[in-house]
Structure 1
């Protein structure tokens, strides 16, 4: 009998290739459990983004976490994502999976700070200090836009707390805003 460190022993009399073909159909045979997190980590094939993929029902590169969700929890409606509470892409534990729309998935990523925001975003033109200066400045948006080399809509969104909220919230300062007549609004 041939033994494997990651899988159960191969039953006597079965050719290894035949045994592996049968095992490859079951994603559970290709998982290891992480005791600290409770994640079931898929150790088969991974795509470029780190998600487990396998052949399933005649299709190639099917995401394993979706297969496991359907197996343990039920069907997935069209256009719906299977999201991870643990944020481990190759985790296939159904207790760590939930359904969400693309918008909910994006909101979840932002809330968990898994997106390139602020100065972590390579296309950012402003530093955190500049954002705070803009946030508290009494100058009009057009002037600030010229000074900092950004569009006035960026300035308006900073002052309205629509972008850079992590920075403006940390500053502890209040935004200087003007009413429609151009007068300071306190």
Structure 2
């Protein structure tokens, strides 16, 4: 099959670039369509179980696992979302979350929206919970339970990376029994960066 030019009108493919014209057409199609109330849409995406169990959000979610609920569009036509656990707390208490406060999970389960598992708290409380429950960022260096290298091995890798002519990352990785992307992350200081500063 021959490649089409950028201005092709063959009809075999379409451009998905959103223009104001596309947005206006989409708005016209949905005009007059009534959307279910937010509360109804929210609870239809919750898998409820016992009162003390986690009620899991089954709708859209962020990469972090927290659910998100579509609340409409802003003036620019962009989608707006609210985190599902925050909305759950507000629905259960009938009031907005006070400014500067967070909704914290007692269960440490991001998709949980059971109001019995949620409470408001400050950033300091949220961080303290994270540290106490060992959810904080993994320890650095050898203290990280997933570390495959020792600090001495990483120092040897750093020496190899600084030596000229430089060996390939693949050969360095093979020497230490790791994969090439790990050597790349060490070189870019994404992993073990604290050893470069010594």
TM-score, L = length of structure 1: 0.50
TM-score, L = length of structure 2: 0.47
